[in-house]
Structure 1
Amino acid sequence: MIQSIYVNLPVEDLARSRSFWTKLGFSFNETFSDDKALCLMLNEGSICAMLLKREFFSTFTNRAVADHHTTQVLLAIGVDSRQKVDDMVSAALENGATRYREAADHGWMYYDCIADPDGHQWEIMYSDPNQLPT
Structure 2
Amino acid sequence: MSAATYVNLPVRDLDRAVEFFTALGFCAGQRQPGGDTAQLTVGSTHLILHTGAAFAAYAGTAVCDTSTSREVIVGLGVDRREQVDELVERAIAGGGESLGPGRDLGFMYMRGFRDLDGHQWSFLHLPG
Pairwise same-fold verdict (TM > 0.5): yes
1:61 paired residue number: 59
Task: Give structure 1 stretches of 5+ with no counterpart.
Answer: 130-134
**Match of residue 94 from structure 1:** 93
Distance 2:59 2:22 in 1: 28
Deviation at 1:64, TM superposition (A): 2.3
Q: In structure 2, give the amino acid aligned to 1:39.
A: Q
Q: What is the count of residue pairs matched by the alignment?
A: 127
Higher mean Cα deviation, 63-72 or 5-14? 63-72
The unaligned stretches of length 5 or more in structure 2 are none
Return the offset for 1:18: 1.3
Partner of 2:21: 21
TM-score, with structure 1 as normaliser: 0.86
Identity %: 33
Question: Following superposition of structure 1 onto structure 2, how do residues 25-104 of structure 1 map, counting pairs within 5 Å?
Answer: 25-30=25-30, 32=32, 35-43=35-43, 46-69=44-67, 70-104=69-103
Q: 1:71 to 1:23 in 2, by over 3 A?
A: same
Q: Aligned equivalents of 1:32 and 1:89: distance in 2?
A: 28
Q: Larger C-alpha radius of gyration, 1 or 2?
A: 1
Distance, in Å, in 1 between the alignment partners of 2:89 and 2:2 is: 32
Distance 1:32 1:103 in 2: 36
Distance 1:27 1:102, change over 3 A: same
Kindly provide the CA deviation profile for residues 51-79 of structure 1, in whole angstroms up to 9, marking residues without a partner as x.
11110000022322202212100000000
CA RMSD of aligned residues (A): 1.7
Matched letter for residue 91 of structure 1:
R
SS, match of residue 102 in structure 1:
coil
